[in-house]
Copies of this chain bind each other. A is one copy, B any other.
């Protein structure tokens, strides 16, 4: 059985996913694409040699009989509308983060999905599919570390463009950690605080960079995440979990070890796409397989909602400088 996928939004990430599905993954074909820039959509079809029709808009694509499952990789503010439409059509939908730009939007999706009576949404938090984080989760779940007490993490990018402003450190960058740690620790957040170190001279004027976000979970784990998006030296994701019985640290990407010029050195990646390349593949294959079997798994719309709520509080904490409570509604049994 081959799943027919329609892609809404054929920008960089949309094209990347289309290429992956077509060249590397099994069980799916791209049969439909659309983009606000129709020329762009046609270009992707041509570049990848897809047997796909270009639709005039998301609504018609979702409605099409040629489409079994939908991927939403359009501009963030449009996500909610397309996800709701896919749910309405009863079609599985993969939605890149954010699920919606507001917690309210996420809530509307959750309600619609529950009303539909069936999980139809997978949110694009690819780190859950990274082999390193999976080993970490296994170490926690098998109690090898004892109860987790602290997480020390860093999310570093070489640089960001001028349009990247302070709150984007939460909504665009930390958002991955916000999902990852809930999943890793099987826990929820209780409060958040953000502090600002001296600003790097490499940051643009509209962004406070770096930032340190401190989170407390319901179970009492303390998480600190350094977000440093103009660190220059590389794309570097670090995560150390400190438990009662030991400490585990995420593996770093592999490369040759060189001995040259009075140095032992290993390459650090500059490009985030390479860092999680395998995770993207596993993630999308999981969506294809879940859509085929009618049993979607992975990050749910509830997870998207939880990340949105925590993200909003972190932005508030950026502004207030205070320890801000994170209030999560009761999780419906539907998402248990």
User: Which A residues have a C-beta under 8 Å from some C-beta of B?
Assistant: 22-26, 131-132, 135-136, 139, 144, 146-147, 149-150, 152, 154, 195-202, 210, 212, 214, 216, 219-222, 224, 226, 228, 231-234, 236, 242, 244-270
A209: nearest residue on chain B (CB-CB)?
B149
* In the complex with contacts A201-B244, A244-B200, A256-B248, A152-B152 CB distance below 8 A: yes
- In the assembly, what is the distance between CA of A121 and CA of B219, in Å? 47
| A205 shortest CB reach to chain B, Å | 16
Nearest B residue to A212 via CB reads B222
Query: Could you show 28 A-B contacts with beta carbons less than 8 Å apart?
Result: A23-B26, A26-B26, A132-B256, A135-B255, A144-B258, A146-B201, A147-B198, A147-B201, A152-B154, A196-B222, A197-B220, A197-B222, A231-B242, A231-B247, A232-B245, A233-B246, A246-B259, A247-B259, A248-B257, A249-B256, A251-B254, A259-B268, A262-B268, A263-B265, A263-B266, A264-B265, A264-B268, A265-B265
Report B-chain residues with C-beta under 8 Å of the C-beta of A249: 256-259
Asked if A262 contacts B233 (CB within 8 A), the reply is yes
Extra inter-chain contacts (8) besides given A144-B258, A147-B198, A233-B245, CB under 8 Å: A139-B258, A147-B201, A150-B226, A231-B247, A233-B259, A246-B259, A263-B265, A263-B267
Contact of A221 among B26, B197, B264 (CB under 8 A): B197
CA distance A249 to B238 in the complex (A): 13
- Are A200 and B248 in contact, with the CB atoms below 8 A? no
Contact of A260 among B219, B220, B247, B270 (CB under 8 A): B247
Known: A197-B221, A264-B266. A232 touches B257 (CB 8 A): no
A220 to B198, Cβ gap below 8 A?
yes
> Do B233 and A247 touch across chains, with their CB atoms under 8 A apart?
yes
The answer to whether A210 touches B135, judged by C-beta atoms less than 8 angstroms apart, is: no
How near does chain B come to A313, taking the closest CB pair, in angstroms? Answer: 17
Kindly report which residue of chain B lies nearest to residue A223, judged by CB atoms: B197
Report the Cα distance A226→B241, complex, angstroms: 12
Name which residue of chain B comes closest to A243, CB basis: B200
**Contact of B252 with A139 in the complex, beta carbons under 8 Å:** no
Q: Tell me which residues across on chain B come within 8 A of A144, comparing CB atoms.
A: 258
Select A212's contact among B210, B224, B236, beta carbons within 8 Å: B224
Name which residue of chain B comes closest to A152, CB basis.
B152
Alpha-carbon gap, A250 to B261, bound state (A): 19
A118 smallest CB distance to B (angstroms): 25
